[in-house]
Structure 1
Amino acid sequence: MSKLKRPLAVMAGCCLSVAAALPYAHAAEQSVLRVSAIPDEAPTELQRKFEPLGKYLENELGMEVRFQPVSDYAGVVEALDAGRLDLAWLGGFTFVQARLRTGDAIPLVQREQDAAFTSTFIASNPDVDEHADLKGKSFAFGSVSSTSGHLMPRYFLQQADIDVDAFFGRVAFSNAHDATVAWVASGRVDGGALNSSVWNKLIEEGKVDTDKVHAYATTPTYYDYNWTVRGDLDPELAERIEQAFLKLDPSNPEHKAILDLQRASRFIETSPENYKGIEQAARSAGLLQ
């Protein structure tokens, strides 16, 4: 029995049949799936990446899929908690925050790559080839709530006995991975950390001037992004959403185009347990009390 159907069996055994049917009556009225994503890249890029996925989900689910951009990471968590969103693309740390705040947010799927994600450290000075070379210099993370752009780079620096706030001359937050690269390339800061997937994409697309910025280190691996639904979403709809993602087949050209935009080889099931390490890292780094 799937993780989404087990609660139904319990509910059916504990509640009157009429009461148990009420969530389904409510779900039958839902005609729009409201979707968002943490703003870890420019809004236009997020919209471009989601458009074909949104059309695919509409076909698979038989309902309108509406993308609702948010201004910051906290906005996604707040919207899930308030029931204004049904499905969201979250980083590992944002999922932990959402789970702690809502108590029941459910991670459905992750990209295969998210089981072994990394962050990349970059610098403008070509002579920088280790963290020690940036001592006393300015450094940028992405969003405060970013897993790959802040939490895990900070955590692994801490593991290397580097007190981030004392080690660097100035610490700033660019609020997006591509912005971090732009800040380093322009000389606004001397170094930074970002999502390795975004760094590789920018390199592949020729959007990084490697004469102005280079990668000098990569973190160990950790779990990161996932697609999460609010905990009170109709379990049958949540199951259909999960199956739609799992159905994406890289051997199908239309599916591969969607997967490529998501920088995914394929989607696989995930669970809250996968993100316990992220929660522990956040507590160790002082980002969760």
Structure 2
Amino acid sequence: MKKLIQIAFSISLTLSALISFHVSAKTFTFTAIPDEDESQLRSRFDKVALYLQEQLGVEVKYIPVKSYSAAITAFKNNQVQLAWFGGLSGVQARKLVPGSQAIAQGYEDQFFVSYFIAHQSTGLTLSEDFPDITGKTFTFGSKGSTSGRLMPQFFIEQHLNKKTKDIFKRVGFSGDHSRTIAQVQSGAYQVGVLNYKVWENTLAKGKIDTNKVNVIWKSPTYPDYQWTIRAGIEKDFGDNFVEKVRRALLNMNDPDLLKSFPRSSFVKATNADYQPVEKVAKQIGLID
């Protein structure tokens, strides 16, 4: 009997070790919407991967994607378990994977804004009133962008009381905020709209010629970017893993890491924080 007990105990320890190894051997993967050029994104998020790996005690890998829709698809297919989404892409991803949670957002994401910009040839300058941009050529960012498409389209149609297709001479989608600046600065489009953080960051680096392009209107605030974690993650990484990831994000205080977003800090977020985004998306027909 004593031998049987010892054998059973040995088997139990072996199984525990195997289970522990199975959990620890898994790689925790994340992605981010490509709101800037790929080299900047990789520089930003490879550092974040190292930070999360140290904090979580599991292997962490950043998976780059080529588009907003690709980020959502990777999340849906469990190719990534965590994503730095915009407001709209986060809503879309959580709808596709019920039970997924927004767990953290940048402090600034609680009151995000879009900047409308114009080429100097338009003669438009910064105004508190919505500018007269009827008949101009206009570029959004990505079709799935909250700050570069969803909320701007809502503000445009709200102020001009027409559908976007009936307002502009030509409408384009640059693909990301950096390209929006470049296209308006070059005169390829007369007016555009983008994430204010990308404008401010690019301006601070001296990469904007304000003799050629300038901000003409700043939008009201709305909730935007957030970290969303996939439902069922704790089956692979253990109990309380969601809270461990949230805590790691909220405790991220390295100025270099935060500057790369750029955000001053991260604060707690919930799915309910993004109901205004979902409401607007339904109103203008981007989601059902």
Q: Which residue is 2:186 aligned to?
A: 186
Q: Which residue is 2:167 aligned to?
A: 167
Please report how far the alpha carbon of residue 163 of structure 1 lies from its aligned counterpart in structure 2 after TM superposition: 2.4
- Percent of aligned positions that are identical: 34
How many residues get paired?
A: 262
- Taking structure 1 as the reference length, what is the TM-score of the superposition? 0.86
- Alignment of 1:139 with 2:138, yes or no, is yes
Q: Which residue is 1:220 aligned to?
A: 220
Q: How does 1:229-240 map to 2 (within 5 A)?
A: 229-234=229-234, 235-240=239-244
> In structure 1, how many angstroms separate the alpha carbons of the residues matched to 2:215 and 2:176?
17
Q: How does 1:49-128 map to 2 (within 5 A)?
A: 49-125=44-120, 127-128=123-124
> In structure 1, how many angstroms separate the alpha carbons of the residues matched to 2:211 and 2:83?
37
Please report how far the alpha carbon of residue 162 of structure 1 lies from its aligned counterpart in structure 2 after TM superposition: 4.0
CA contact (8 A) 1:135 1:168 kept: yes
Q: Which residue is 1:17 aligned to?
A: none
Please report how far the alpha carbon of residue 88 of structure 1 lies from its aligned counterpart in structure 2 after TM superposition: 0.6
Q: Which residue is 1:195 aligned to?
A: 195
Q: Which residue is 1:16 aligned to?
A: none
- RMSD of the TM alignment (CA)? 1.8
Deviates more, 1:170-179 or 1:75-84: 75-84
SS of the residue 1:240 aligns to: helix
Query: Which residue of 246, 253, 256 corresponds with 1:242?
Result: 246
- Uncovered stretches (5+) of structure 1, i.e. residues with no partner: 1-20, 250-254
Please report how far the alpha carbon of residue 187 of structure 1 lies from its aligned counterpart in structure 2 after TM superposition: 1.1
SS of the residue 2:206 aligns to: coil
CA contact (8 A) 1:144 1:173 kept: yes
Distance 1:27 1:86, change over 3 A: farther
Please report how far the alpha carbon of residue 133 of structure 1 lies from its aligned counterpart in structure 2 after TM superposition: 3.6
Q: Which residue is 1:148 aligned to?
A: 147
Deviations 1:196-227 (A, max 9, x none): 01011011111111111100001100000001
Q: How does 1:273-288 map to 2 (within 5 A)?
A: 273-288=272-287
Q: Which residue is 1:4 aligned to?
A: none
Please report how far the alpha carbon of residue 27 of structure 1 lies from its aligned counterpart in structure 2 after TM superposition: 6.9
Please report how far the alpha carbon of residue 132 of structure 1 lies from its aligned counterpart in structure 2 after TM superposition: 4.6
SS of the residue 2:120 aligns to: coil
CA contact (8 A) 1:134 1:190 kept: no
Please report how far the alpha carbon of residue 229 of structure 1 lies from its aligned counterpart in structure 2 after TM superposition: 0.9
> In structure 1, how many angstroms separate the alpha carbons of the residues matched to 2:157 and 2:91?
20
Which structure has the greater CA radius of gyration?
A: 2
Deviations 1:57-105 (A, max 9, x none): 1111122221111111111111111111011100000011011111222
> In structure 1, how many angstroms separate the alpha carbons of the residues matched to 2:285 and 2:146?
14
SS of the residue 1:134 aligns to: coil
Q: Which residue is 1:18 aligned to?
A: none
Deviations 1:26-84 (A, max 9, x none): 97255311110011110111111112222111111122221111111111111111111
Q: Which residue is 2:176 aligned to?
A: 176
- Taking structure 2 as the reference length, what is the TM-score of the superposition? 0.86
CA contact (8 A) 1:119 1:193 kept: yes
- Uncovered stretches (5+) of structure 2, i.e. residues with no partner: 1-15
SS of the residue 1:49 aligns to: helix
Q: Which residue is 2:28 aligned to?
A: 33
> In structure 2, how many angstroms separate the alpha carbons of the residues matched to 1:62 and 1:282?
38
> In structure 2, how many angstroms separate the alpha carbons of the residues matched to 1:213 and 1:55?
38
